[in-house]
């Protein structure tokens, strides 16, 4: 990776996280910043050609693993064993569906510890992943023109 591309990756990652934070600040009832997104932007902007950074993997990987976390937190007692089971199931299902995105593996843990509502699938998961992917597309177009 060229020096310019490394700098652009950092700018892109920072821009995506800043957009999520600004939107969260504008609409205070929205939660858009979650720790797994910090790891997602490393892949999306740092190794954009990796299958793990593919938009399908980013969006569906996060949606799938968040769904598993929400199912577990709503229907199973939360303890170390069930958190481990949910995480293992999330990894297996991402692999089985070809939607592997490693940062999404943190979602069941985060969700089972914080117990958010089902709205978590829309805000931050779906909205946040779409914003990150679209930001990457815009940054890539800009980078190609420079």
CA 33 and chain centroid, separation: 10
Q: What percent of the chain has pLDDT over 90?
A: 94
Residue extents of the structural domains in the chain: 3-145
Three-state SS at 34: coil
Output the pLDDT for position 75: 98
Q: Is 29 exposed, middle or buried (0-12, 13-18, 19+ CB in 10 A)?
A: exposed
pLDDT digits (tens, 9 = 90+) for 96-145: 999 999 999 999 999 999 999 999 999 999 999 999 999 999 999 988 88
On the question of pLDDT at 95 being above 80, the answer is yes
């Amino acid at each position: 990776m060229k020096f310019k591309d490394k700098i652009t990756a950092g700018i892109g990652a920072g821009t995506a996280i800043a957009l999520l934070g600004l939107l969260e600040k504008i609409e205070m009832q929205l939660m858009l910043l979650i720790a797994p997104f910090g790891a997602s932007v490393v892949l999306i902007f740092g190794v954009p050609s990796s299958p793990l950074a593919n938009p399908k993997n980013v969006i569906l990987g996060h949606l799938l693993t968040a769904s598993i976390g929400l199912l577990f937190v709503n229907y199973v007692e939360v303890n170390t064993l069930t958190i481990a089971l949910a995480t293992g199931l999330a990894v297996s299902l991402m692999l089985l569906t070809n939607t592997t995105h490693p940062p999404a593996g943190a979602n069941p843990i985060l969700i089972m510890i914080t117990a958010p509502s089902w709205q978590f699938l829309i805000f931050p998961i779906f909205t946040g992943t779409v914003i990150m992917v679209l930001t990457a597309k815009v940054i890539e177009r800009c980078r190609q023109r420079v």
